[in-house]
Amino acid sequence: MRYVAFAVGLALFGSVAQAATQYTGDKVQGVPVISALDVADLATGQHRFMFEGVETGTGQRWYVPIMVAKGAADGKKVLLQAGVHGDELNGVRIVQKAMAQLDPAKMKGSVIGVIGPNRSGLERVSRTWAISTDGGDVIDYNRIHPGKETGNPPERQAWLMWNKIYKGNVDLAIDYHTQSTGTAYPLFIYADYRNADVKTIAELFPADQIKKDPGETGSMETTFVENGIPAITAEVGEPRVYQQDMIDRGLQGALNVLTHYKVIDGKLGATAESHKAYIGNEMSSIRATTGGFAEILVKLGDDVKQGQKVALQRNAFGDVVAEYTANMDGKVLAVGTDAVREPRALLVRILGNNSAETCTNGC
């Protein structure tokens, strides 16, 4: 079924580019508002737009900042995006810095920078898109792509982004994330190693860890890949903050990708190989079985063995109420950073390698 979906999706996604960049005539913060983008009709140079997204409950619009660097010659069309989850912010600075240092006169192809397609989440510094109608709800914007033209607000937003911004304008995509509030990652890549270009893109990043991964239905990364567009999810550290090392390495990864695909000239910087990235095909999450105050006994990147104690919880009196051990050999991929942990909260996530043939490219 995956391959049928891939073929149909490729036909739908790749068959029609935008007829033209469509300007509404409005400006927001002095920046022209567009309702559709066609990079082909832009002049060589740097461009800024506000994309007119879905309506709010009062009929106003969510506007998404779009940056485009259009090269003087033809080449690959690359998307750099951050803010799909609104509490995951290192990628915002990465995209800003990448776009600022591009020289379109020396480029082949184009680079699109998108900041915060999940406008609701970004304004609330939250993973989810909040719906206010009928008592309210929250939706994970990274599980609903490619959206629905007549769906709920985040589904419509996803549909608009796919059909009015990405379609015809993207050959390769890097979607920047971090771990969610209350948890932390190193520089970590999700990559579908069944796709050779995805593998290449992932290993151009000076990552700490890479997960060979078949993807997550409805995610930005997987929907791109299913539609013939190589893409990765780059998890660059912790939520809600700017971490300079993560920003620097996340930027280096983007520049390496642009260099490898000849969008810009230059030499490759640090990569997964030179950074000695750990590449795994299976991960396991150790979650709290009860409520309590958590003590994490391992650090990101630590080697762990099955049966090793990795966390414990205490009650309000200081008594140990639960202890947790690693359920596989591997490296510590994520940890819970909030001390107060409810049942099912993440304590430790481990990345390892499963020798089963079915797990060769991820399980």
108-115/73-82 β-pairing: parallel
Q: What average pLDDT does the segment 82-92 reach? A: 99
What's the rounded mean pLDDT across residues 310-332?
A: 99
Maximum C-alpha span of the chain: 67
Q: Is the dihedral of CA 13, 17, 20, 21 positive or negative?
A: positive
> What tokens appear for 86 in the block?
């609104």
C-alpha to C-alpha distance for 51 and 20, rounded to whole angstroms: 14
Domain containing residue 10? 2-260
Over 50: is that where the pLDDT of 15 sits? no
Q: What pLDDT, on the 0 to 100 scale, is given for residue 41?
A: 97
Residue 274 lies in a domain: no
Residue 319, burial from CB neighbour count under 10 angstroms (0-12, 13-18, 19+)? exposed
- pTM, two decimals, is 0.94
Are 75 and 209 part of one and the same domain? yes
Polymer length in residues for the chain = 363
User: Is 357 a residue whose pLDDT tops 90?
Assistant: yes
In a domain, 67, yes or no: yes
Out of 260, 294, 317, a domain closes at 260
| 116 within domain boundaries | yes
User: Across residues 72-76, what is the average pLDDT?
Assistant: 99
115, 65 in Cβ contact below 8 A? yes
At residue 264, the pLDDT reads 99
Given a cut of 90, whether residue 282 has pLDDT beyond it is yes
Kind and range of the H or E run holding 95: helix 90-100
Sign of CA dihedral 338, 181, 151, 15: negative
* Residue at 271 is within a domain: no
Q: Where are the alpha helices (DSSP H) in 131-203?
A: 153-161, 196-203
CATH number at residue 312: 2.40.50.100
In a domain, 346, yes or no: yes
* CA 306 – CA 123 distance, rounded (Å): 41
Q: Compare 44 and 19 and report the one with higher pLDDT.
A: 44
